[in-house]
């Protein structure tokens, strides 16, 4: 089945140790998003790619970076994770302006910082 | 600043009755609205959407109503079933100005058998 796949489902990292979360999609969608969701809060958009164009939200900390080497893959890099970065990280895709108007989500990666 | 708001964190409804989940937004540029359903430890799954050119959209037991003047939308589930128990997120986008989807904080719906 075509889908959005996030790896790993659960990630434990040490305080200050760089960590990378990955997302792949078989939908061939041109837009990919990274959201951060903390308990009982709204998913917060960190950034998105429209094709190769990177779009950062104004309030996304510099500690968060992203790479999209090709259409199928997108990575979230946290350079120096702090305790406040523990959250669920959600990857999503959409195909805006081609008739697909909703975002499709992966199952998320639960990040724990110790 | 939260552009999409869901002011009811939780809702309990008897099986067979109507569930009404509410959502308010502040950005008048939003022109497309979506509802997502989320089970624990899973990503949100798309449920139903509505364009700002409409005021109602139905899909089976799910109906979304949009009141643009009040910047308010609601999701009606009739009849409610125990399997509908989940967190429901309202989301909005401004297609003319970008690709972003902005989410509310969610409403946890419990349908009591």
Distance from the first to the final alpha carbon of chain B: 38
User: Which pair of tokens denotes residue B24?
Assistant: 């308010």
pLDDT tens by residue, A40-88: 899 999 999 999 999 999 999 999 999 999 999 999 999 999 999 999 9
Q: What is the rounded average pLDDT of the residues A4-8?
A: 95
Q: Which residues contact A61 (CB under 8 A, 6 or more apart)?
A: none
Backbone angles phi, psi at B76, to 5 degrees: -110, 130
* Nearest-angstrom CA–CA distance, A70 and A52: 8
Q: Chain B closest CA to A32's CA: distance in Å?
A: 10
Q: Each residue of B52-84: b (16+ CB within 10 Å) or e?
A: beeeeeeeeebbbbbeeeebebbbbbeebeeeb
Whether A106 has its CB under 8 Å from any CB of chain B: the answer is: yes
* Nearest-angstrom CA–CA distance, B73 and B93: 14
Q: Chain A closest CA to B16's CA: distance in Å?
A: 27
Residue among A23, A24, A46 at smallest CA distance from A34: A46
pLDDT tens by residue, B55-92: 999 999 999 999 999 999 999 999 999 999 999 999 99
Whether A98 has its CB under 8 Å from any CB of chain B: the answer is: no
Helix segments in A13-114, DSSP class H: none
Could A33 and B101 be called an inter-chain contact, meaning their C-beta atoms sit closer than 8 Å?
yes
* Preferred mutation among B103, B104, B107, B108 to probe A, highest tally of A CBs within 10 A: B103
């Amino acid at each position: 089945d075509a889908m959005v796949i996030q790896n790993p489902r659960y990630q434990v990292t040490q305080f200050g140790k760089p960590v990378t979360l990955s997302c792949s999609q078989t939908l061939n969608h041109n837009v990919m998003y990274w959201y951060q969701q903390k308990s009982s809060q709204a998913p917060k958009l960190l950034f998105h790619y429209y094709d190769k164009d990177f779009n950062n939200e104004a309030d996304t900390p510099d500690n968060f970076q992203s790479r999209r080497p090709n259409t199928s893959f997108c990575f979230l890099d946290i350079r120096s994770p702090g305790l406040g970065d523990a959250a669920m990280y959600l990857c999503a895709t959409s195909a805006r302006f081609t008739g697909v108007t909703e975002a499709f989500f992966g199952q998320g990666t639960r990040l724990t910082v110790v | 600043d939260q552009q999409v708001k869901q002011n009811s964190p939780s809702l309990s409804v008897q099986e067979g009755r109507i569930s009404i989940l509410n959502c308010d937004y502040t950005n008048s540029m939003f022109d497309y609205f979506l509802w997502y359903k989320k089970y624990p430890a899973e990503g949100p799954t798309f449920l139903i959407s509505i364009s700002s050119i409409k005021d109602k959209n139905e899909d089976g037991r799910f109906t979304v109503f949009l009141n643009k003047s009040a910047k308010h939308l609601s999701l009606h589930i009739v009849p409610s079933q125990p399997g509908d128990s989940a967190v429901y997120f309202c989301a909005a986008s401004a297609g003319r100005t970008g690709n972003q989807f902005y989410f509310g904080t969610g409403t946890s719906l419990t349908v009591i058998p």
